[in-house]
Structure 1
């Protein structure tokens, strides 16, 4: 199972707040079979403890450490939020839900961070016209 597939990508998303964005990203992971619904609650709990905003318009919500056993397989969901969503005073335009088995968490996190740290790549992701186009950018920029 690929960690990023078309059914886990949503373009032109409008959300009222970061918790709606986190739940939407988490629900995509649930629907794809990576995690149970309880993991989404842990993603929200994690955000209440400390922001998952990483900078450069990127937030990567994920579960708390104690939610690790809930993860059935590594997966990633991507929301493109053209109007942005407030993550504790910072605006995220790209929200990536993450569930990773074992040590894969840091590997995926750093690969995504490197990809979006290039302003040009971030702009290409945000300007994606289709799920396939967005996935292609991630596949060329990461080792998926």
Structure 2
């Protein structure tokens, strides 16, 4: 899928993982990808099973029950230079790049797979985290068909 530059956000900071997830969800709402009720389902999904994927990335997305709230498949990318902790005090899990996703049908699984493959190479995550423009991020991801 083509990465939309208006859904790329650079140099953000969040006090909590819930704030970070909410921001991702709000971007999907404002882009017309999901209804507003998808956002709390994204937070619920993280409570059920962490959306932290390792290698400094998190992929916030909604619960299966929230599939009815997905209007079209979309992705927002949020760069968090200081990181946001998706773990707990005993096991920190710092994410510096967030991929908020929503998928029609099972398209979210395809998105997660493509993001995970790209980000399995930590050098790719570093490139995303160090990017200074939305164009840079879009070019990196569009080149690998994320």
TM-score range with shorter-chain normalisation? over 0.9
Runs of 5+ unmatched residues, structure 2: none
SS at structure 2 position matched to 1:29: helix
SS at structure 2 position matched to 1:37: coil
By how many angstroms is 1:45 displaced? 1.1
* Equivalence for 1:121: 124
By how many angstroms is 1:39 displaced? 0.2
Residues 2 and 142 in structure 2, CA contact (< 8 A), matched pair in contact too = no
By how many angstroms is 1:64 displaced? 0.4
Q: Within 2, Cα distance between the matches of 1:44 and 1:10?
A: 20
SS at structure 1 position matched to 2:83: strand
Equivalences for residues 88-127 of structure 1 within 5 A: 88=87, 89-127=92-130
Cα RMSD (Å): 1.1
Residues 4 and 135 in structure 1, CA contact (< 8 A), matched pair in contact too = yes
Runs of 4+ in 1 over 2 A off after TM superposition: none
Equivalences for residues 1-144 of structure 1 within 5 A: 4-88=3-87, 89-141=92-144, 143-144=145-146
SS at structure 1 position matched to 2:131: coil
Q: Give aligned pairs, total.
A: 142
Q: Within 2, Cα distance between the matches of 1:32 and 1:3?
A: 14
Runs of 5+ unmatched residues, structure 1: none
Q: TM-score, normalised to structure 2's length?
A: 0.93
Residues 3 and 76 in structure 1, CA contact (< 8 A), matched pair in contact too = no
